[in-house]
Amino acid sequence: MGADIESSKGNVTLRSSPLRAIELSIPGDISSAAFLVVAACSLPGSEIILSKVGVNPTRTGLLETLKRMGAEIEVENVKQEGNEPVADLIVKSADLRGVEVGGGIIPRLIDELPILAVAATQAEGVTTVRDASELRVKESDRIAIIVKELRKMGAQMEERTDGFIVEGPTRLYGARLESHGDHRLAMALAVAALVAEGESFIAGGDCADDSFPRFEETLKALLVSSQSTPPA
């Protein structure tokens, strides 16, 4: 776009300059795709294809962790769009197992840890998340809230200062839940509600529109598709 910008280790310098219009392809946000990925992993008989998702390696920590847990995720048609790598994700339901998550991978999946907690409730064994104290200063205290809300559904979870421990697999049950105005928690709880037996109500669930407009409609459309056609 013509910006006068320079970068070096630890520094970015931007000078005032005229910009020009360009055509730019924006990759699909992997943080938003994460909720559909975990839904497909966790619901038996599911399969979904997500097209043109951004797979910058600084953002793919969730995919790597789910694969360690036994998730069946294929990354195909990798190419560059808008100077970013994008790919199609093919996700199928699988039997998951608990893992330990911490250290250097945390910054690469910090926003996806609430939905990872949902996946962990369906995984065999113990999943431990540590080194994630940043979760306490997001739009809400995501550690305290995800533990509190999933426990309402029957999850076996323990809150830690810098993360949480989940023991699974656990049968979840519908409950009255609170989003606490946090879009990622609202979407994580919606996926948990899909996995759970019975009906759930998520107060303030419309805050999901903050980052994923029409999230509820997308989930409903996928469920209708799965009931009337082969997996897609």
pLDDT given at position 224: 66
Residue pLDDT, tens place only, 100-126: 999 999 999 999 999 999 999 999 999
Q: Tokens 């339901």, residue?
A: 93
End-to-end CA separation in angstroms for the chain: 38
Sheet holding 125-129, edge to edge: 100-101, 125-129, 163-168, 156-160
Over range 142-161, report the average pLDDT. 97
Please state, in angstroms and rounded to a whole number, the distance separating the CA atoms of residues 43 and 175.
18
Over range 83-91, report the average pLDDT. 95
Which of 112, 86, 109 has its CA nearest to residue 34?
112
Q: Which of 29, 88, 111, 210 is catalytic?
A: 111
Over range 2-20, report the average pLDDT. 92
For residue 168, pLDDT beyond 50: yes
Residue pLDDT, tens place only, 25-84: 889 999 999 999 999 999 999 999 999 999 999 999 999 999 999 999 999 999 998 789
Clarify whether 111 is annotated catalytic. Answer: yes
For residue 137, pLDDT beyond 50: yes
CATH of domain 24-226: 3.65.10.10
Please state, in angstroms and rounded to a whole number, the distance separating the CA atoms of residues 78 and 85.
7
Q: Phi/psi at 145 (nearest 5 deg)? A: -75, -45
For residue 229, pLDDT beyond 80: no
If pLDDT is split at 50, 70 and 90, which confidence band does 232 have?
A: very low
pLDDT given at position 26: 87
pTM: 0.89
For residue 230, pLDDT beyond 50: no
Please state, in angstroms and rounded to a whole number, the distance separating the CA atoms of residues 195 and 109.
22
